[in-house]
A and B are shown apart, each in its own frame.
Chain A
Amino acid sequence: MTYYPGGITHGVAVGSTRCGMAGLLQHPGYDEERLQRVAGQLPCREAQAGMLLSLMGQPQQFSYPSIFIYGHRASGKSHVTHVLLKELELPHATVSCVECVSVALLFEQVLLSFFGCDAASLLPRSPSLSDFVRIYRQQCSQSPAKQTRYIVMEKAELLRDTDANLLPALLRLQELVEDNITVILLSEIAWDKFRPNTGCFEPLLLHFPDYSKGELQQILSQDKHPSYSAEFYSSYINILLGVFYSVCRDLRELRHLAALNFSKFCEPLAEGKVKETDTHKLWRNIEPHLKKAMQTVYLREVSSLQWEQMQQMEERESGALRGLSAHTHVELPYYSKFLLIAAYLASYNPARTDKRFFLKHHGKIRKANFLKKNEKTSNHLLGPKPFPLDRLLAIFYSVVDSRVAPTASIFSQISSLVTLQLLTQVSHDDQLDAPKYKCAVSLDFICAISRTVNFDIVKYLYDFL
């Protein structure tokens, strides 16, 4: 008879306080030291890691056939699973569904990581699921699982685009191969959008919530610069989050931005203008800079390399370098410009107003009637309307001052505008007879074009009258 001194009766109370404490991962069947190492690598994800671990159970026990983990981008889904599987040395195969353009690659990777390359080479040239399951079972009977095997599928939303039966088969793989195997699916999209129409084996759903502002601050503050104090770096992160948090909660993006702009933040310190503790002055210095970064680096208008170069060049104001979108300006021939202007006018003006805009003697049009419009029908909200070729040419002849002959060159310029994707051809039913086009350029672009030919386009736009 064994007597347990005290421990059991008080176990509940002790346990509940332990669960409340962060930073402790516990599970029988795993080495405590290892679990601690795991916990050290997963800041702010103890609860999720603990949950996952308790679902996985001890290595030799069965685990649920499939676990579906969803959460926002950079909420630690794959990080937590990888750290757990790797540090605890559980047999696992990690498959990114982006890489696996064909199922053959997927099967090969799984067999390779479980049974070595001999098994993978058994796969026929274009393997079906049936082949995979057969080879898996064969191998499995030779080396049965002593521990649960895990298949981790990253970006699982892409599985929906492959064969219709791949996802249902993966979800019941444990039953099909009769092995202790668990499929873990990671995705940004909720499970409801995955369900096939005849249903499937439902996976266990696990949500990874987003990091709160405090947690983001804590994680970002971890990669501090060695030559500055921790408080200094953390105040920098605080300012950075103040600017970017309302727009972006992606940890990876924020980390990237933090790394890029830190040297600028330290600049006044290096020059000796301010002390480390003078947060207000530092904030005044960095804030406009960060705001500019949101319009440039965050949108990848300028690359991070260019941004770093810009920071080194002191005289040139950052942002003076032309970004990607500034390069969209294209040099066009004279008539092409007018053709594009005419196309824009045809796309964004209603046809009934053409007479008023483009005819010299258009007779009387009641002004009140003409100007009657409501916001709902504004074409700059609804997008471009298709127009026939005849209307384009009519407007073109009206806006261009000189007499232009309708030569082959004019028509070929129209089709080359289509190939440049400045115009799009709408209906493909007939190439020659009355084709319809749409103008696919923005207002800024067309304004810039019309400025080069001294044409005031805004005067001719119905929406801006």
Chain B
Amino acid sequence: MSKRKVKDAHLPVGECITQVQTILRERLCHQQLPDKPEGIEAQHKHLLELLKRTAIHGESNSVLIVGPRGVGKTMLLRCVLRDLLEEKEAQKNLLQVHLNGLLQTDDKIALKEITRQLHLENVVGDKVFGSFAENLAFLLEALKKGDRSSSQPVLFILDEFDLFAHHKNQTLLYNLFDVSQSAQAPIAVVGITCRLDVLELLEKRVKSRFSHRQIHLLSSLTFAQYLERVQSQLSLPDDFPDTKFAQDWNDSIKTLCKDKSVEEVLQRHFNSSKDVRSLHMLLMLCLSRVSVAKPAIKPADLLEASRLCFADAKANMLHGLSILELCLIIAMKHLNDVYDGEPFNLQMVHNEFKKFLQRKSNSMYNFEQPVIMKAFEHLQQLELIRPVDGSSAKTQSEYQLMRLMLDHSQIMEALQKYPQCPTEVKQWGMSAFG
């Protein structure tokens, strides 16, 4: 408590909180670059050296950065570029072309983009919008005309590299690697991908021109480092305008990280995934709970955020179903148990449901077939059940074979959590065989 007594604050608390939110949100949501890449110093050095050789000495290179999602591939590259551009010589020398496999879905679009980013459109005037072959020829000529000593090096950055490998004939990749292999204008091709088998995707001729230099970013984080990462991500920088507040905040973060329950939660997150993005998501949820009335992150916030992160979406959806829909799901579960996972249709489900009604219950749930069909269709819309084959127009809807997309335990849990579930329905659900 005493830590948050901001007696000698230079700024009002509201202002401080706004500052905190602004700074931390930029870090967590906008993926702001850190000052120093942590844990990947070797890769950073390697890549920086490589790109320096291209930028300054005019050496052609190609490299692939491979690693799972959210491990910091783009961050590494951007850090390297930032450090590279600090050097005068590189800065005035280097041309950059950024391509993304998600955006440049075929070679024609990619080529247009390259021309645009190299500011060549005015050079060729309307020729840019001519045929693909012409465009490629022009670009290649422009690249070929240059030689090691005189022409400016170009840095090609291909984000989502694996998607470029799906282009027809891999023409773009072939040409880029070809230029990088022969004594033409110096270029460096840097691919970023999350697929470990990316080399298998390349054609033989493309593969042979690639330098096979790969930088693997595999998270080798230990839990202690993970905790440290949490702390550093949440801490305020030294240049925060209100030093007293920043000091208190950082102290409170430090005590937060030492808390036993917090450590437990973080351990759980660490066990499920080591990537930074999911950590950011967790911290973002915590941060959103910080307000003027509650100007610090409490262990309870972290517990709540973790609960949100680990919530089972299907269980959430099951909670909102009507009684009739829940009954149908129980009937499907029994059918699955009895017939060992064979697909079922509406008639069978209805039959099973009728058996339940005859035996165990009064006629409270005696619904007409069309009402049941409507409930069944709603379940299909929610994709809790899925047709076995796609040909829906062929068979009558009540005879279309379906599969249940839920797990046994999910249904049982939903039954337990269901608000005001009638006892007989619950018992029916619990009983081993319909």
Residues of chain A at the chain B interface (Cβ within 8 Å): 1-4, 8-9, 11-12, 14-16, 18, 26-29, 51, 54-55, 57-58, 60-65, 70-72, 75, 128-130, 133-134, 163, 165, 168-169, 172, 174-176, 180, 188-193, 198-202, 204-205, 207, 209-210, 212-213, 245-249, 294-295, 298-299, 301, 325, 375-376, 380-384, 424, 438, 440, 442
Partner of A168, one of B102, B371, B381: B102
Distance to closest chain A CB from B292 (angstroms): 6
Tell me if B316 counts as interface (CB < 8 A to partner A).
Answer: yes
A62 touches B25 (CB 8 A): yes
B195 touches A64 (CB 8 A): no
A247 touches B322 (CB 8 A): yes
- Return 5 A-B CB contacts under 8 Å, by A number: A51-B288, A207-B313, A247-B367, A382-B347, A438-B395
Q: Which A residues lie within 8 Å of B7 (CB)? A: 1, 3-4
Distance to closest chain A CB from B351 (angstroms): 6
Known pairs A9-B1, A65-B29, A299-B370; A176 contacts B103 (CB<8 A): yes
Query: A-facing mask of B183-203, CB < 8 A → 1, else 0?
Result: 000000000001100000000
- Among the 9-residue stretches B12-20, B83-91, B221-229, the one with 4 or more Cβ atoms under 8 Å from chain A is B12-20
Closest to A60 in B: B22
Q: Which A residues lie within 8 Å of B394 (CB)? A: 424
Known pairs A26-B291, A205-B313, A381-B351; A249 contacts B365 (CB<8 A): no
Q: Which of B77-135 contact A (CB under 8 A)?
A: 100-105, 109, 112-113, 116
Q: Which A residues lie within 8 Å of B295 (CB)? A: 8, 11
Q: Which A residues lie within 8 Å of B368 (CB)? A: 295
The 4 A-B residue pairs whose C-beta atoms are closest, nearest first, are A383-B399, A15-B293, A210-B320, A190-B313
CA of A26 to CA of B113, assembled, Å: 45
B29 touches A63 (CB 8 A): yes
Q: Which A residues lie within 8 Å of B59 (CB)? A: none
Closest to B311 in A: A207
Q: Which A residues lie within 8 Å of B288 (CB)? A: 51, 54-55, 57
Partner of A14, one of B285, B293, B375, B382: B293
B316 touches A209 (CB 8 A): yes
B396 touches A202 (CB 8 A): no
Choose among A191, A201, A207 the residue with the greatest number of B CB atoms under 10 Å from its CB. A207
B102 touches A129 (CB 8 A): yes
Known pairs A294-B371, A295-B371; A246 contacts B324 (CB<8 A): yes
Q: Which A residues lie within 8 Å of B268 (CB)? A: none
Known pairs A57-B21, A212-B419, A384-B399; A128 contacts B103 (CB<8 A): yes
Closest to A206 in B: B308
Tell me if B289 counts as interface (CB < 8 A to partner A).
Answer: yes
Tell me if B217 counts as interface (CB < 8 A to partner A).
Answer: no
Distance to closest chain A CB from B239 (angstroms): 18
A440 touches B293 (CB 8 A): no
B4 touches A189 (CB 8 A): no
Distance to closest chain B CB from A422 (angstroms): 11
B284 touches A247 (CB 8 A): no
Q: Which B residues lie within 8 Å of A18 (CB)? A: 293
Distance to closest chain A CB from B97 (angstroms): 13
A2 touches B12 (CB 8 A): yes
CA of A16 to CA of B321, assembled, Å: 32
CA of A249 to CA of B318, assembled, Å: 13
Q: Which B residues lie within 8 Å of A298 (CB)? A: 371, 374
B104 touches A130 (CB 8 A): yes
CA of A134 to CA of B114, assembled, Å: 12
B285 touches A204 (CB 8 A): yes
A12 touches B294 (CB 8 A): yes
Distance to closest chain B CB from A17 (angstroms): 10
Distance to closest chain B CB from A189 (angstroms): 5
Q: Which B residues lie within 8 Å of A442 (CB)? A: 396
Choose among B30, B74, B278, B314 the residue with the greatest number of A CB atoms under 10 Å from its CB. B30
Q: Which B residues lie within 8 Å of A169 (CB)? A: 102-103
Distance to closest chain A CB from B395 (angstroms): 7
Query: A-facing mask of B23-49, CB < 8 A → 1, else 0?
Result: 001101111000000000000000000
Closest to A2 in B: B9
Known pairs A190-B317, A207-B313; A28 contacts B14 (CB<8 A): yes
CA of A55 to CA of B290, assembled, Å: 11
CA of A27 to CA of B317, assembled, Å: 29
A383 touches B103 (CB 8 A): no
Q: Which of B322-339 contact A (CB under 8 A)?
A: 322-324, 339
Known pairs A54-B291, A246-B323, A247-B322; A62 contacts B26 (CB<8 A): yes
Tell me if B413 counts as interface (CB < 8 A to partner A).
Answer: no
Choose among B1, B364, B383 the residue with the greatest number of A CB atoms under 10 Å from its CB. B383
Q: Which B residues lie within 8 Å of A129 (CB)? A: 102-103, 105
Tell me if B412 counts as interface (CB < 8 A to partner A).
Answer: no
CA of A54 to CA of B305, assembled, Å: 13
A188 touches B308 (CB 8 A): no
CA of A18 to CA of B7, assembled, Å: 24
A70 touches B313 (CB 8 A): yes
Distance to closest chain B CB from A15 (angstroms): 3
Q: Which A residues lie within 8 Å of B293 (CB)? A: 11-12, 14-15, 18, 26
CA of A183 to CA of B320, assembled, Å: 26
Closest to B364 in A: A246
Closest to B288 in A: A54
Partner of B319, one of A130, A209, A245: A209
Known pairs A12-B294, A189-B383, A192-B314; A440 contacts B105 (CB<8 A): no
